[in-house]
Amino acid sequence: MAATLCVKFLLKPGWLPLTQTVRHGSKAVTRHRRPMHILKQKLLAVTKYIPPPRGPPPGAYPSQVKRVQEDSPLMLLMKRDLKKVFEDYKMIAVVQNNACNSEDMLMLKHRLYKHDITVKLFPNQVTRSFLRDSVYYNMAPLFIGPTLLFVSKEPKVKEMLKTLRASPQMTLLGASIDNTLLSAQGVVSYSKLPSVTVVQGELVSGLTMLTSNTASMLQRHPTHLSALLQQYVKQQSSGDSAEEAT
């Protein structure tokens, strides 16, 4: 127990009261905490509650709802024409126009028209909007910048490539041939394939050769058997005549 000693002196005239307080006692007992185990520290760190971030007040940012913009009547009409193009034509090539003047464009259209290839122009916004909801959606990346469509009812790839070589301002980006999407290199490889007439002729000649070989093989065994029987009959008849002569 701490004891307090107070010593008070008598007041003298002109002196202030003097009080002295002295504390006597034992040293305070302090306990040191034991260090926490590392596994417990990890568990507490993992399970520590982290409050979610406070969101912005309502109305601080504009609404996230996307407004659907309706197509204009002109855009709907052009999309209808573009849909008809993809339905009626088997070859649809995408070509980039690199600053081709009107005179060169007129000559190009005239050369393509000789091979029944037509040049069509649609805005990229209309084309991408149509392709987004169709089976040709993979062609959408081709329509960047000024582009044209070379279309024909029959695939005339060789004629189109021959005409494009004379127009360096035109760059072939890709094409859809018989509902198959091809790159520029794929179109070149397609042009090197033989025509349908040549393939049909080769197929017919191959089938004719196989049927003739099959017929000859089927006729070979009866003919060979009949020849053996005739030879056997001759040998038997010659043997009988020799026995009669003796």
216 occurs within a structural domain: no
pTM of the model: 0.55
Cβ atoms of 158 and 112 closer than 8 Å = no
Query: What pLDDT score does 3 carry?
Result: 43
235 occurs within a structural domain: no
155 occurs within a structural domain: yes
Helix/strand/coil for 225: helix
62 occurs within a structural domain: no
| CA dihedral sign, ordered 229, 232, 236, 241 | positive
Neighbouring residues of 24: CB distance < 8 A, sequence distance ≥ 6: 2, 3, 5
Query: What pLDDT score does 98 carry?
Result: 87
> Which string of DSSP letters, residue by residue, matches 25-41?
-PPPP--PPPPPPHHHH
Length of the chain: 246
Query: What pLDDT score does 220 carry?
Result: 66
Q: What is the mean pLDDT of each run of 10 residues along the chain (246 residues)?
A: 44 55 59 84 91 84 70 87 91 89 89 91 90 88 90 90 88 90 90 77 77 68 73 77 64
Q: What is the CATH number of the domain that holds 93?
A: 3.30.70.1730
**What total of structural domains would you count in the chain?**
1
CA atoms of 149 and 172, how far apart (whole Å): 10
Quote the crossing angle between the two packed helices 157-165 and 102-114, to the nearest 10°: 150
CA-based nearest residue to 118, from 79, 92, 86, 87: 92
59 occurs within a structural domain: no
φ, ψ dihedrals at 4, nearest 5°? -120, 125
Task: Determine the structural domain holding residue 103 and report its residue range.
Answer: 73-192
Query: What pLDDT score does 145 carry?
Result: 85
Label residues 192-230 b or e (16+ Cβ within 10 Å = b): eeeeeeeeeeeeeeeeeeeeeeeeeeeeeeeeeeeeeee
φ, ψ dihedrals at 73, nearest 5°? -60, -35
Three-state SS sequence of 57-93 = CCCCCCCCCCCCCCCCHHHHHHHHHHHHHHHHCCEEE
Query: What pLDDT score does 62 carry?
Result: 75
- Give bridge partners of residue 120 from the DSSP assignment: 149
- Give bridge partners of residue 93 from the DSSP assignment: 150, 175
DSSP E strand stretches across the chain: 3-8, 19-24, 91-97, 118-120, 147-152, 170-177, 180-183
21 occurs within a structural domain: no
**Residue 172 in tokens:** 């072939």
118 occurs within a structural domain: yes
54 occurs within a structural domain: no
